[in-house]
Structure formats: structure tokens, C-alpha cells
Structure 1
Amino acid sequence: MSRGRLVTSGVPQESILGPVQFNTFISDIDSGIECTLSKFADNTKLSGMDDTPGGQDTIQRDLDKLKKWPHMTVMQFNKAKFKTLHQGWGNPQYQYRLEDEGINSNPVENNLGILVDEKLDISLQYALTAQKANRILDCIKRSVTSRSREMILLLCSALVRPHLKYCIQFWSPQYIKDMDMLEGLQRTATRMIRRMEHLSCKVRLREFWFFSLEKRRLQEDLIAAFQCLEGTYKKDGERLFSRACSDRTRGDGFELKEGRFRLDRRKIFFMMRVVKHWNMLPREVADAPCLETLKVRLDGALSNLS
């Protein structure tokens, strides 16, 4: 172990060891916290049930504990970023405090690039995603003279598609108007290719072996489900999904159990909407021995869908 040294400045951004060092330094921030404290780099969120006085008191006690942490670590919270997001119908909108100052409430918050509002309506996220992708497509159209297939597909895959795929397990659209808005982005991109302007969108997608964005979202959902059931996140998957065991089911002897919920909003959650599609997968796809095999077999299965 090296000797101690006074650090008078922050950890350099975008460094290899920076996030590890920072996470190590703040690892004890959730010590004694009763509610859920989510940490991602320097983004920290405290969440709990505040529909009862007891729940509100628990959250406030945790905030009081967090107030003491900067004094012990010689760090400071960024008070300008303190925000409260009250979710749910009939929420009492309790006024929380940190360091003797009230925390302002917002109807919508940006959570690691995803807009979340008080009613879990993600329409704002669709509009934001479409806006970003449209700006990039417009920039490509104005700054790139080549209209070759290779150039346009390369630029769209590298610059546009990441925005359309980012965290779609959370914000995947369910309404036709939102799906059409996003599908229009892919139509615009393929129309930029030379000698493809006058073909229909279906013909262009078939020509380039492209899936519609709806199929791509389904593909990403099923890949994430496989990771939770059989892959990297299997430990977390045991909490997210319930298996319906039966000798009459396919291959490995299980299907996913469809959950029961009171609110329609729950049916659009990833853990709910992916169950039906997973149970409908062909046996050879669901029984894939590894992720790479699953991707290959899944491509074939989705290609046969209308």
C-alpha cells in the first residue's frame, strides 16, 4: 500500500481508472440508508415509497444521513442538481429537505439520458430521440457529398442507430403514432442513398437486409431477456422473471410466467412485454447455448416475421 497523498483536485474525466477511483471513494455513501440508493458514477438517486407518513419519514431520515456524509469525506453535494420527482396518482407531494434547504420538485427528470415524468409517460423521450436523430441525419445530408450505400449505411450505423437503441428496454414505444415517428427516421436515412430515392421503404429495407425499428427493438428485448435468463445477468434475471415449469414445454422445460398487474402502465414494462415474445420463440432459438448463437438464430426467426 502506498503512502497517503493530499488530493486537491477531482478525478480526470474519461480516464480508465477515474470511475473506479471515484466509485471506491463514494462506496460508503449508502451506509445505513433504508431506502434504495442508486449510484452510477457521480449520479446518485434516492428512491422510496412516500404514499404514507411512515414512508415519507424514512426518506427524510435517509436524506438527513446523507447530509452528514460530505462532512466526513470533505466532499460537497451539487445543490443545483437536487430535484424531487413525485410519481403516481394522488401523490402527496411531500416537501423534502437536505442540508436545511427544501428540494424543488420537477414534473420530469433526465435520468442518464432518459426522460422520466411523474406518470411514467415516455412520449417526451420519443420526441427527444427523434429530434437528436433528425439533427444528425440533416448534418450528414449537408456535409457528406457521397451518397453511396456503403458511406450512408456506415454513418447511420455509427451516428444515428445508437440513439435509437440506447436503453430501449425502458422507453420502447407502444403507440402507433410514436412508432411511425421513429420509423420515419429509418425511411429518411435509406432515402438518402443514391438510386434508392424512388423505391418504397419496404423494398429499401429488404434490399439492405434491414429490419424495421420495431423488429430491432424486439430483437434487443429478446437478447436482453436471454442475458437475464441464461447469460451475464442471470443472477438479476431470477428477480425479474418467473419461470413456469412444465414437462410439456419446449427444450429446457420452462416458459416465462406472465405476471398479473392492476395498472395498464405495467404491461409496457420490459419484464412484462417480453414474456409473450419469449414464449413464442422457436425451440432452437430459446435453447441457444450462447449469446452469439442466439443472435444468429434470432436473425433468422425475425426475418420470417411479416
Structure 2
Amino acid sequence: MKTIQINGLDKPVTTLIQGSDYFKPDIYEKVCQVLDRYVAIGGNTIDTAYVYCGGESEVAIGMWLKERDNREDIVILTKGAHHDQDGPRVNPDAINHDLFESLERLGTEYIDLYALHRDDPDVPVSVIIDALNEHIEAGRVKAIGASNWTTARIEEANEYASANGLVGFSFSSPNLSLAKVNEPFWKGCVSTDRNGLKWHEKTQMPILSWSSQARGFFTGKFTPDDRSNKDLVRVFYSEANWDRMKRAEQMAEEKGVTVIQIALAYVLNQAFPTCALIGARNDHELVSCFEGSEIELTREEVEWLENGELAD
């Protein structure tokens, strides 16, 4: 499987990152089946978060890591400081609380990739970067990133880090998909727009994209007339996205692959390093994602899929 490098981490990161938002100890056999097969096809990176399944996702992953005795072979991406019923929690106390509990659940002494799950623009970046650097210095975190942060806030944070001899964010985890959003899927979420793509190309900061396949939009199960999935209608139904669907269908036929594989290839063939978080739940879905990750697209093909015209 193809890999990218992320600053601060010695291990390579595979371009397909296995998601775990449905992992629980009570379905541990299924967790093992998915993770064992994911590793067998070359994957090495697992995405989780403090809030997934009330913490059970991290517990299940920790069980698997211990049983397989493969911690040093696996890259763990986990996230903390998600808001709660009282509002934003992006502050040193919340970061400390969530990180230490994540370490305990996962049964590990360090997190390879630690991301803040949300942002709170009211908190100065200096406070956040200072707090995260304490964990880097203590060896509890190898590399830090931002999930659902704007590029402007990431840039501000990294400018502060650079000016003060500290470690800044080395990856971002917004939504990036061929289908462009009408509005955020969840409040406080960030999707990569045209300006975001240009910024990432300029900085070469990697994107680890969630909902990289637009939550099944390109599976062929949905049509403009089928409005049964209210969230998908709200977020992805638009004339421009149906046009992208048609172009993806045309390219898939020409290349002898599936439409959803073309959608995945779009994410993984940007002009900067990218990975795709996938929610595979069985062997068929894993193999489909792997085959999609192997498709190579030219810059012109990527531009045509998105906009129906060639790149400048």
C-alpha cells in the first residue's frame, strides 16, 4: 500500500486509514476481522477518537494491539478536545484529560498522531500549541494535527510555533471528497474548498480526509429523485455534484473500475500528500478501497472530475 510521511513521525502512514467509529469490545471478533484483514493488505494506520462509541472504540483497539503484540507496527491516530453538551473544550485541561484517558484505553505510552477534534477560535493558538508541546516533550505524542480547523487558524498556530521554537501542526484532517458540501455534515466541521486545496498545495501539509467517499454518495445507491437519506440530501445533493457523478461514471467505465473507486482516487491524487479515512466493515469494502487507492490520476483528470475542465 502507498504511504506518505508526516513530520514528527518515523513510521510511514498508509494512504488508507482504517476508521473505527463503530468499534466496540462487544463486537471484538468483527473488530479483529477488519483490522487483521486491513493489515494483511498493507495498511498500518487506525483512526479513532476519545468520543467514538463513548470511548469503547479506543478500548477495542487497545485489546487488539495487546493481543496481536504489534504496537510498534501500527500508527495510531486519535483525537481529543471535542465539544460536549456545555460547548467547546479546546483548552489545556480538556486536552490533558482526553489524552491521558486515550492512552489508558489504548494501552500505550504514546500516540503517533494526535489531533484536536474541533477548534475554538476564542482560544488563542498560543495556549493550544503550548499545551500540545508539553505532551510532545514528554514523549506522549509524536506529531500533532488539527481536525476541522480552517487553514487560517492552522497557519496562525504554525506561525506562533515557528516564532517560538515549538512544534506546530504537521497534518490536517478536514473533509475532502469529490462531492462538495452544501453545508457542514456536523456543526463545527470543515470541508476543503478551492482555496483550501491551493493552500495545501502551497504548504504541502498532508490532509487525512474524513468522509473521503462522501458517505456513500458515489455508491450508485442514490439518485436525484431518491431523497430518503435526509443528511445526504442536505449535505451533498446539488446539480454540481450530480455532474461530478456523471463524470466519475464516465471515467470509471473508461478505466474499468467502479465509480466509488474513482471518488477515492480523486482524494488520493491531489498535488500534496493525502490519506483517506475509510469506514470499511468487511473484506469486500477493504479490497475495493485498496484497488481504488492504487488508481493513478493525472492532474488534468483530477481537475476534470471536480470542475469539468482541465487544469491551468
TM-score category (smaller protein) = under 0.3
Higher relative contact order (CA 8 A, sep 6+): 2
